Amino acid sequence: MLAVNYSTIRNNLKDYCDKATDDGETVIVTRKDEKNVVILSLEQYNALTKAARNSEYLNKLDRSIDQLAAGRTVTKTLEELEAMADE
């Protein structure tokens, strides 16, 4: 992980983009008032967003399992569900 100030990034943007894409580096761009940003490759970004989505999905499954264990479920037959769909 690299931390670079805004002026250095501005003067060497291509080099730092190459570090992010070619070397897998995460580049933190430090700015005034703690308004920092991060440069990372699209591959890394996609992996992070996928991990976040997976985590959300697993949390939903955990909540469903807890509801099932606590008996907070509703049981319907296929016929009842079809009748509800027709309403």
Longest dimension (CA), the chain: 68
- Rounded CA-CA distance 15/56 in Å is 35
Which residue bears the tokens 């580096």?
Answer: 25
Say whether pLDDT at 86 is over 90: no
36 vs 45: CA distance, rounded Å: 17
| Residue 25 identity (one-letter amino acid) | E
pLDDT of residue 46: 98
Angstrom distance (rounded) from CA 7 to CA 24: 22
* pLDDT on residue 66: 95
Amino acid 87: pLDDT: 84
**Per-residue pLDDT reduced to its tens digit, 20-76:** 999 999 999 999 999 999 999 999 999 999 999 999 999 999 999 999 999 998 899
